[in-house]
Amino acid sequence: MPSAHDWINNPLGVVEGMFVQNNSNPEWQKKVVDYFKDKLTEKEAQTWVPSLNDVPLHYLKPNSLVKFRCLIQDMFDPEFYMGVYEAVDPATKSKSLKCGKYKDVTECLVEFNSRNSVTSERQTFYCVPIPGESSWVKECYARSSQAQVIPSTSYTPNRHKRSYDEDDDMDTQSQRPRDSNTGSQSSGDSQRNGDSKRQETEAPSNNTTTTQSCTSPLDLNYPLPEEQGPACLVKVYEDWESFKLNDTIEVFGILSVDPALGGVSEEKEPTSLLDPMESMETVEEQRAHSPPPSLVPRLHMVYALPLQHINPLLPSAVSEDKNAFVTSFLSELGSIRSEFLAYLTHILLGDALAAEYLLLHLVSNVYARRDVLPLGKFTLNLSGCALSATYTEHLYRIIQQLVPSSYRLPMSLHNMNSMRMVPRKDYVANRLVSGVLQLASNTSLFLDETQLEQGQLDASGVRNITALGNLISWQKVDYDFNYHQMEFPCNINVLVASEGRSLLPSDCQVHLKPQLAPPNLGEFLGAIQAAQAPSQMNRYRLYLSVTRRMDYSISEEVTKAVEEDFVEMRKDDPQSMSAEDLHRMLVVSRLLSLSFGQTTLSTDVWMKTKHLEMLRMSRIQQQKSVNGHEP
Amino acid sequence: MSSPTSTPSRKRGRASNPSTPGSEGPLSPPSQRARSQDASQGELPPMPTSPATDICSPNPQDTSLFSSPRRSVLPSEVDASSPLLYGTPSSRVEGTPRSGIRGTPARQRPDLGSVRKAPQVDLHSEPPAGENAVASDQAAGQRLVIWGTDVNVGTCKEKFQRFLQRFIDTTSKEDENCGLDLNEPLYMQKLDEISVVGEPVLNVNCGHVQSFDADMYRQLICYPQEVIPTFDMAVNELFFERYPDSILGHQIQVRPYNALKTRNMRSLNPEDIDQLITISGMVIRNSQLIPEMQEAFFRCQVCAFSARVEVDRGRIAEPAVCRNCNTTHSLALMHNRSLFSDKQMIKLQESPEDMPAGQTPHTTVVYAHNDLVDKVQPGDRINITGIYRAAPMRVNPRQSQVKAVYKTHIDVIHFRKTDERRLHGLDDENEQKLFTEERVQTLRELAGKPDVYERLSSALAPSIYEHEDIKKGILLQLFGGTRKDFSQTGRGNFRAEVNILLCGDPGTSKSQLLQYVFNLVPRGQYTSGKGSSAVGLTAYVMKDPETRQLVLQTGALVLSDNGICCIDEFDKMSDSTRSVLHEVMEQQTLSIAKAGIICQLNARTSVLAAANPVESQWNPKKTTIENIQLPHTLLSRFDLIFLMLDPQDEAYDRRLAHHLVALYYKGEEQIEEEYLDMAVLKDYIAYARTYIVPRLCEEASQALIEAYVDMRKIGSGRGMVSAYPRQLESLIRLAEAHAKVRFSEKVETIDVEEAKRLHREALKQSATDPRTGLVDITILTTGMSATARKRKEEIAQALKKMIQAKGKTPAMKYQQLFDDLRAQSEAAITKDLFDEALRALADEDYLTVTGKTVRLL
């Protein structure tokens, strides 16, 4: 077990040390970055750092290193801060150089007119937990955490009280920061033991309950309405241009919760009316940009890891053992696929064809874009889903259990008319107000069209439908910036469950044909789920994440064969086979190959693709003839 | 030490004056100085001063300033110097002749030095030294500089005066310079203008300064706070020397613009603090007008003695003791006698073009002062020039802790609306995208290639297969023709935009093509015919929730002015919506008369529309009109109408399959190699649109005439017209666009050839009469082919003959007549044709049709 690491418990001390050592030579900044990078890329080191995702904020020690798995929801304006400043000791009047990096507040009187001060620039990102993250992902991450450095002796069930105490604690601490790197803090030491005990018993189960006061009127701007967890203001010091909106990252940073940072103070000094700087920000803007740190902590980034995926079962690091892991997994891929397919077939009440397509859909991923055209997307329209009132809901629960992040959007009239889907810039508060469609890459969006009832869509309803249509067709969302729109590409797997053909566009429609008619659908599905061992579920989850990420190519010969086939099919009946059909078949064959763990297209798979498509088409034809009114 | 030379017009405040609150800062507006001087110094004989040399260096010994003779001359006038005069105007002496530099009140420039404290105060932390330095300036022989800078006031002034007197820019294209003689010194003419118009503001293009004297430019950029006041002085001196009798509201202020230092908000960094910068952006929010106190007026409650206190860094030091009666805490602030200046906060957002993909736009706070207040509105695209400032934030006034963050803003000196010209109709230059030398070089190189046209067209939407001619058509649309103005002769503007309609089978990637174009052009709009209403396309009036005023919100067509409006599902548009397009597509304007707002907006947009056939599948037996059911009045406004059909032939299928498969397996790099980068294409188009204005050469005109005559001839053989002037205009536009593709200033015969070819191709597809297989323009202009009309005529005649042959039967059965005619005629006669024939005869007053019977008249 790792002992208490200085670089986790007191990273600022490390920074300060390096700053002094290098005599404020600008080199020190790079050294600090490298230092943390080295530390964190060590084997397992990342698991020692407590995570904001699973540990409630008030259990974490201020100014310690924490990590946060998040989505960049908004990017604020860059800010200039005092990189190096001269501090005046009020008692002795002696001056000393201080470093302001990784800190929010200066420690003592600042000599503003000093020649030695250096102004630097940093960027602030507003980060929220990954929207729609499945509970199994959260649990899995929490379980793998080995952090144990949470100090607290007097655990009181009253959490508000507790966090208040901590803030006080914090306040005094910031007054004597030099203590922190010289001696061990007595309070910190004594707290440590008690808390780690509690951590063991309580923390994992704790993470789903909101610890932050829900009564707060502050809108934390989560993309999804029922989202929980801490939002964070992440201060970025190095190459912030490399981050993009909606990126999922794991931030390692220094936690700062100085209560002085809270922007909105009721008792404004009368003189501040004359201070032009302060009167300019609207109250809304202050609320958005400097929320109380107890709700939205600040995180000073020392290292960030862009997340390709958030599946905790798959090793995240790009290392050899990952490759080894994948190779070993591939060997049993075939069996997993058939088991998984059987599972899906049960879920879809015995419809093997629909199960096959659902599997392909779950594996799909936008892997490239050719000018405006996203390649690899596979939006599935599962029609005939109105078996019972709750079938779609059950179906969603099951998908939720399989994918790392997902969201079910019931397309009821009310939802369509009132929901905020497209993120919108609020110029008064100067922030991007999030919407349901601000999702991380590879999130599964489950559109439940069976909830649709008769009625009229109003203007915003029409906009929402258009936005959904754009998302499906082009994999992009046009964010509303009031005076103009801005296009953000995305990569979201959309599954539309509907009764008849969906009103939204889709790449592929499959009509569900249940073979079974269990009297109690809920119970039936529950039983199927219960029959799957957790380890089995994990295999499925892993299967989806691994296959989605494999490389894929088509060899020359197969290309020829495919071309030949296309020409042949067109010869017989040009109407039945358009360019669009070929597009779809190429996607299906790609996904099918990947689902078998093959990285090139084989003629077998191509034949299977054709077969699948044929079955699907004939089913649609049938469906059309059954209900003549279907277009 | 206060030699008069060092004092006079120093009312430009200095932000960074570290003087103790006790001493009166150099910020004191002239009025105050004048008054206190009145009180303390009495009348001093006016001295012939050479105007100030020192305006910048802070002077703690302010009292000495008041000995300035210039104040004493016209004490009353200085009151007017306050921009917002809440004082007592009665004190003004009426009728005093006011002219000359000393008579004209100077005006505070809060934009330069504000009461805020700049971070680099240390530059001036030893003001006495500065004062000494500059005061002894002349004595020391022009060697001394303003403290903390390398600016020598004397030299700087001299240089600037020389600049004003000598600078000539013969290549000036700026619209505000129109009417000026380009071969005369530019700024002297502007001074002349000032003397006539009386607006005491001189805008100076920093680019001019740079080309004239790079060193002066550098100083201006680095020390705007010091240099601009020097410029002011210089210009005033010069001005009043030349126009000693002119009367101005206040002294002339120099407003530099177009500092090349920074263009992009994103590239602002700490090094830019306190420098002169120019950035572009869009106004997103204006605050209300803020009266900012410049000087507080206190009156003693006991003895009515009054005292004035300068605002120092946002604070007023309230005098605790009355100096007159020695009562403590008896002074009360008199709001209506304090002096205020206007101020406004403006939020500026990065323009969407400047943003890297995947990031959100940045915003910056801008402060406008005095007459710059309310000059811009939210939504305006502007270039601003100003001084970048940063100030530390205090967490709590009572604490010593400071948030280790600076708040930044820009004190604006000059606004320039970038979209202003769009309203004036002089356009395209607003898209002044700056091209670097190398970029221009590569573009020119590309243009030099013989196959540039093919290259560009294949670079267009590479994921869409073939349809070469359609892509070429769209390419020409992207470039557009040359804009011609015939408004003098009463015809108005000629349309330069090319409109294109794509129709064809569903699933032929029309929408994809539209999406691509929409993404390519900077000012593109994408709408769907299904989802848009007439107001969504044009403009609507709504009540602004904040101001409760009616505002005009513009729709897609107006927004895509100078761009391309892509309309998908054109056929699904309602008729009323489509009808608004008539005006836009030929006159290029949009007239609006609603809610008391009557106006005509420019909508010089190219329309790229896509339509599906009515029967969902294209019926080759029908004409275009019949297939898409669009009014021919609208169709004739499209320069090119393309059919995107599924060709259904094996070789094509094979190539298509190959193309699609390649799309799915080729790596990103391979694709990139094959085609031009989208960014290059974008730049190429932007460059050509901005800088290339091709004109018809003699040969090309001849070729066009011939082409047109040929087109007319084709039809005339069969007794019909196959081309109209509109087609000739289309040809000209296409030829011009093609010349632009080649970066050629002249339209030559090859351009005309290509235009002809493309036009013919499009016609071949869309205007071919399915019955005869001949190209027939009347299908598009009248909605019916000439053969169809001829045929109608024939049937009517046959019917007439038949009826006449039947002899005297006043009434006949409809069905019987139809059957008889069918039996008689060799060709198949449909019911429609029969009905039409009957109608034609009815028009001749030969018969009437009532229900099922046909009566002869």
Domains and CATH numbers, chain B: 153-257 (3.30.1640.10), 275-417 (2.40.50.140), 784-856 (1.10.10.10)
Contacts of A275 in chain B (CB under 8 A): 314
Give the pair of three-digit tokens for residue A204. Answer: 């994992």
Contacts of B507 in chain A (CB under 8 A): 578-580
**How far does B785 lie from chain A, in Å, by closest CA?**
29
pLDDT of amino acid B261? 58
Quick: pLDDT tens for B821-854: 777 776 667 777 777 777 777 777 777 777 777 7
DSSP B724-743: -HHHHHHHHHHHHHHHHHTT
**How far does B557 lie from chain A, in Å, by closest CA?**
14
CA dist., res. B129 & res. B59, Å (int): 10
What average pLDDT score do residues A33-40 get?
A: 84
Name the pLDDT band for B479 (thresholds 50, 70, 90).
Answer: confident
Using the beta-carbon criterion (under 8 Å), do B404 and A100 form an inter-chain contact? yes
> Coil, strand, or helix at residue B75?
coil
Q: Is the pLDDT of residue A409 over 70?
A: yes
Quick: pLDDT tens for A383-405: 888 777 788 888 898 888 889 99
Quick: pLDDT tens for A136-189: 888 888 888 776 655 444 444 444 434 343 444 443 333 333 333 333 333 333
CA proximity to B688, closest of B473, B469, B428, B454: B428
Query: Contact at 8 Å (CB) between B190 and B254?
Result: no
Name the pLDDT band for A200 (thresholds 50, 70, 90).
Answer: very low
**How far does A418 lie from chain B, in Å, by closest CA?**
19
Please state which of the ranges A70-84, B513-527, B770-784 shows the lowest mean pLDDT: B770-784
Chain A / chain B CB contacts < 8 angstroms: 212
Using the beta-carbon criterion (under 8 Å), do A81 and B405 form an inter-chain contact? yes
What average pLDDT score do residues A353-365 get?
A: 90
Query: Contact at 8 Å (CB) between B560 and B575?
Result: no
CA dist., res. B609 & res. B568, Å (int): 6
Q: Using CA coordinates, name the residue in chain A closest to B676.
A: A371
pLDDT of amino acid A622? 82
Query: Contact at 8 Å (CB) between A258 and A102?
Result: no
Name the pLDDT band for B441 (thresholds 50, 70, 90).
Answer: confident
Please state which of the ranges A225-234, B249-258, B596-605, B768-777 shows the lowest mean pLDDT: B768-777
Q: Is the pLDDT of residue B132 over 70?
A: no
Q: Tell me if the pTM is above 0.80.
A: no
Contacts of A578 in chain B (CB under 8 A): 507, 646
Please state which of the ranges A234-243, B16-25, B509-518 shows the lowest mean pLDDT: B16-25
Please state which of the ranges A374-378, B269-273, B343-347 shows the lowest mean pLDDT: B269-273
Query: Contact at 8 Å (CB) between B632 and B523?
Result: no
Read off the DSSP letter of residue A600: B
**How far does A376 lie from chain B, in Å, by closest CA?**
8
Using the beta-carbon criterion (under 8 Å), do A430 and B18 form an inter-chain contact? no
Name the pLDDT band for B785 (thresholds 50, 70, 90).
Answer: low
Percent of chain A having pLDDT more than 90?
A: 3
pLDDT of amino acid A169? 40
pLDDT of amino acid B551? 67
- Residues across chain A: 631
Q: Which residues contact B827 (CB under 8 A, 6 or more apart)?
A: none
CA dist., res. B520 & res. A279, Å (int): 42
Quick: pLDDT tens for A574-628: 666 777 788 888 889 889 988 888 888 888 888 898 898 888 888 888 877 766 5
C-alpha distances out from residue A96 to A84, B120, B689, Å: 10, 18, 59
CB-neighbour burial class of residue B810 (10 A; exposed 0-12, middle 13-18, buried 19+): exposed
Of A121, A488, A567, the CB nearest to B358: A488
* Residue A279 in contact with partner chain B when CB distance is under 8 A: yes
Contacts of B405 in chain A (CB under 8 A): 79-82, 104
Quick: pLDDT tens for A513-531: 888 777 787 788 888 888 8
CB-neighbour burial class of residue B505 (10 A; exposed 0-12, middle 13-18, buried 19+): middle
Buried/exposed code over A64-91 (b: 16+ C-beta within 10 A; e: otherwise): bbbbbbbbbbbbbbbbbbbbbbbbbeee
Q: Using CA coordinates, name the residue in chain B closest to A479.
A: B360
Quick: pLDDT tens for B366-382: 888 888 888 887 777 78
In terms of C-beta distances under 8 Å and separation of at least 24 residues, what long-range contacts does B351-357 make, across chains too? B351/B280, B351/B281, B351/B282, B351/B381, B352/A481, B352/A484, B352/A486, B353/B433, B353/B522, B354/B263, B354/B264, B354/B265, B354/B266, B354/B280, B355/A486, B355/B266, B356/A241, B356/B266, B357/A244
pLDDT of amino acid B545? 60
CA dist., res. B766 & res. B643, Å (int): 6
DSSP A268-289: --GGGGT-HHHHTS-HHHHHHH
CA dist., res. A166 & res. A180, Å (int): 16
pLDDT of amino acid A361? 92
If you search the block for the tokens 């200046």, which residue do you land on?
B341
CA dist., res. A224 & res. A207, Å (int): 18
CA dist., res. B387 & res. B411, Å (int): 5
Q: Which residues contact B738 (CB under 8 A, 6 or more apart)?
A: B453, B476, B479, B747, B750, B751, B754, B755
Report the Cα A442 to chain-centroid distance in Å.
Answer: 9
Q: How far apart are the first and last CA of chain A?
A: 65
CA proximity to A55, closest of A6, A13, A101, A8: A8
Q: Which residues contact A393 (CB under 8 A, 6 or more apart)?
A: A408, A448
Quick: pLDDT tens for A440-490: 888 999 998 888 888 887 878 888 888 898 899 888 888 888 777 788 888
Tell me the β-bridge partners of A248: A71
Specify the DSSP element, H or E, that contains B388: strand B381-394
Using the beta-carbon criterion (under 8 Å), do B402 and A586 form an inter-chain contact? no
Most confident listed range (A125-134, A209-218, B508-517, B838-847): A125-134
Using the beta-carbon criterion (under 8 Å), do B665 and A574 form an inter-chain contact? no
Contacts of B311 in chain A (CB under 8 A): 274
Q: List phi, psi (to 5°) of A468.
A: -65, -40
Using the beta-carbon criterion (under 8 Å), do A583 and B660 form an inter-chain contact? yes
CA dist., res. A378 & res. B537, Å (int): 33
Of A277, A563, A580, the CB nearest to B393: A277
CA dist., res. A232 & res. A235, Å (int): 9
If you search the block for the tokens 């309310």, which residue do you land on?
B374
Of B284, B402, B405, the CB nearest to A483: B284
CA dist., res. A104 & res. B403, Å (int): 6
C-alpha distances out from residue B444 to B441, B686, B749, Å: 5, 13, 21
Q: Which amino acid is at B397?
A: P
Please state which of the ranges B12-26, B508-522, B587-601 shows the lowest mean pLDDT: B12-26
Most confident listed range (A46-60, B542-556, B776-790): A46-60
Q: List phi, psi (to 5°) of B154.
A: -60, -50
In chain B, how long is the greatest CA-to-CA distance?
129
* Residue A515 in contact with partner chain B when CB distance is under 8 A: no
Q: Report ipTM (2 d.p.).
A: 0.73
Return mean pLDDT, chain B.
69
Of B284, B355, B356, the CB nearest to A427: B284
**How far does B400 lie from chain A, in Å, by closest CA?**
6
Q: Which one of B401, B526, B663 makes the best mutation probe of the A interface by having the most chain A beta carbons within 10 Å?
A: B401
> Coil, strand, or helix at residue B36?
helix
C-alpha distances out from residue A244 to A368, A491, B360, B421, B466, Å: 17, 14, 8, 35, 35
Using the beta-carbon criterion (under 8 Å), do A109 and B365 form an inter-chain contact? no
- Nearest 5°: the CA angle A278, A280, A283 is 85
CA dist., res. B395 & res. B226, Å (int): 31
pLDDT of amino acid A577? 74
If you search the block for the tokens 């081309």, which residue do you land on?
B723
Query: Contact at 8 Å (CB) between A603 and A593?
Result: no
**How far does A387 lie from chain B, in Å, by closest CA?**
32
Quick: pLDDT tens for B713-771: 765 555 444 567 777 888 888 888 888 888 888 878 888 888 888 877 777 666 666 55
Of B121, B122, B362, the CB nearest to A77: B362
What average pLDDT score do residues B226-235 get?
A: 84
Q: List phi, psi (to 5°) of B403.
A: -65, 130
- Residues across chain B: 857
pLDDT of amino acid B393? 63
Using the beta-carbon criterion (under 8 Å), do B531 and A462 form an inter-chain contact? yes
**How far does A83 lie from chain B, in Å, by closest CA?**
8
* Residue A484 in contact with partner chain B when CB distance is under 8 A: yes
Please state which of the ranges A335-344, A406-415, B630-639 shows the lowest mean pLDDT: B630-639
Who wins on pLDDT, B497 or B763? B497
Report the Cα A74 to chain-centroid distance in Å.
Answer: 13
Contacts of A553 in chain B (CB under 8 A): 665
What average pLDDT score do residues A96-113 get?
A: 74
